[in-house]
Structures are given as C-alpha cells and as structure tokens.
Amino acid sequence: MKWECLLIPMLVLTAHAGHANDTAPWGSATEIEQTYRGQKVVFDTTSGSPAGLTSVLDRASLISVLNGADPLDHKIVIVLHGGAIPFFAIGNYAKNKGLMHRAQSLSVGEVVEFRMCRAAAHLQGFKPEDIHGFVRMVPMADAEIVRLQQEEGFAYMH
C-alpha cells in the first residue's frame, strides 16, 4: 500500500515530463489586460547613477502612460535626495543634459512632479537657486514621503 502511494505520483510526473519543453518546463506566461486609473505614486529616489535615475524616470513615465497621463486623474511625485541631488544642479547641466531634458519633459503637463529634499541639498552645498527650475524644494524628503502617504494616499515606490 505504501509503495502504491509513491508509485502513482511518480507515474504522473513521468507522463508530464515526456511532454514538457526542456527550456520552458512550465510553459510561457499569460498576459493580463489591466486598466489603471487614479493612481497616486511617490518615488523615493536616492540613486547617484545615471542608470538608476533613468530607471525611475522610465517607470514614472510608464505609470503615467498607463493611467492616461491625465493630471486630474492621477499624480506622480519623484522625491529626490541622497545621490540623486547633484544631477539636478544647474552647475552640472553640461554633463547631465540628456537626463535633465528627459526629467523636465516628464514634468510638463503636471502629472509628474519633482520634489527635492532641501536639508540634503544643503548638506551637499546646494541652495534652491542652484537647482533646475522644474524642481520644487521641500524641507525634508522623508517627511514629505510620509506626508504624501498619510495625508494624500500616495503609494510608495522605491
């Protein structure tokens, strides 16, 4: 009786193994069509690498597109602190020109907004007048992220 319990599952596995693809034993993914509306998202952005910041911009852009890019329907706030701050400095424009044009273009239409930690910028030697004009300064990044979540119902993305 004990051997029968083991033998039956082994036979089932053997039967399925004969039909499985060696490179895709579970088949391929199924797509789910989804509609997104009214999402409010805050990105906590500290990346000091161009690739890291580009990834955040790409993700924010895609969320905006998937939500219909309607400023009355949804909002995306990218909160900048840590290593992300120097990219937005006017003095670093020449070496970050492409990245800054991309960021600024996302802010057109008021769906995506950039907010920078004034305290962290100050610690890095930047004042509001040193930062590109499409960025808004807030007293503290962490406090702004908490406020957006608690008071305005934003979902947190890192």
Q: pLDDT of the chain along its 158 residues, tens only?
A: 554 554 445 444 444 444 557 899 999 999 999 999 999 999 999 999 999 999 999 999 999 999 998 888 899 999 999 999 999 999 999 999 999 999 999 999 989 999 999 999 999 999 999 999 999 999 999 999 999 999 999 999 98
Token code pair at residue 80:
């900048």
d(CA 158, CA 115): 15
Q: How far is CA 92 from CA 23, 49, 95, 98, in A?
A: 47, 14, 6, 12
Task: State the pTM of this model.
Answer: 0.84
Three-state SS at 1 = coil
Q: How far is CA 61 from CA 102, 112, 116, in A?
A: 10, 8, 19
Domain definitions of the chain by residue range? 40-157
DSSP letter at 29 equals: P
DSSP letter at 12 equals: H
d(CA 47, CA 89): 15
CATH of domain 40-157: 3.40.1260.10
